[in-house]
A and B are shown apart, each in its own frame.
Chain A
């Protein structure tokens, strides 16, 4: 029964569109996936899009102005299940670092003094600050297999379970050298979600936590250890908040940490 197939939408707000591209990158599985679902809205990939109603709507990107806020609210009304995909939609993404700056400054810098007046902006928001989000799929860009597994589990009637393991596990499974232990690189792997296959540390790059932190992350121990090894709170914060500036728990923790250092947490990118 063709009509019984769930109707799927894949849309994007402010982001790099990399999540949508990742889904398109499921080349070996896409045709099989289409046996299970009808993709009715996927502007990046096709014409003849239909704006709902959706059984599952996947939304990429963060919300950066009022118009987007309204659009997202409308989409929510048309979707049975709304899934935030990728770091921007889940945590705000790199652009959420803007939230540490003065709005006025941001606009003047981007659009000039005159232009700034025409471009009202709001704080960068992950989707769940605007609408109810039913599920979250992580990574920057979203992990295409997480996406595929999610669809499979929802259709099979099960509850998709995301891993909640730190990046260190996957580094050990892959037999990687520990770049924190051996090179002193500020790697946030111990407190950040794996699922990426320890992609960055496998290439000698530090984990900056694009999947967000694990449950009960040992922030305190991690930050104390790094401070003890001579890292600055500024550098540590840059790594921890790079992708997840709107992680309230992490931000609250860091504010306290800055206070302990006798400093007030502020914009730290420049």
Chain B
């Protein structure tokens, strides 16, 4: 479960990328993160991936409390996440196989495990026959699928996708979404940032809507009542006294640039 409690991210004094955002996302849920450009979607994903640190508030995933997470453990946290980028971020000087294998090499997996897992991931995204190819020779949709295979090859608990269909046409976008839905169905928590209205209308999943850095709407899907794991909840504004005092202390220290 992803939990945000009164989270703010202030890049420069007075300019909030995110302001007092609170929500909790059930494990295994598929959710859209929507909003216009600059609404704070990418910032929220960066906070989850610990690429940025909040200036106020608390974040946790399952039992991992970000507030107590030591810097040396941050890489290990990221190894448990899959990240899909709009521009793929593939390494064009090595094969599709080696691109997908990179998270496993980083994670210290054995050679045989790497071979099996990469082959399975490529098979799942329909690119097993392209394992020898360089990414640059693939189409945009295929490159994005390689990016997804790389994100899921280490079997992450959370999959974050930042505008994964931003550069793709409607048909390929639908294929990519189907893939992400498959991973969600297998228990992976998927959070997809997008401002593609067509996608939001086609796929009926809960939506978190951001505007100006604030969470303005939480829209549960029509199936949400049937699938409790997909039900979103806004965090209650009232906090236990101890936690409130921690929040205040954090806000004070961030103002002092600590």
Q: Decide whether A and B are members of one complex.
A: no
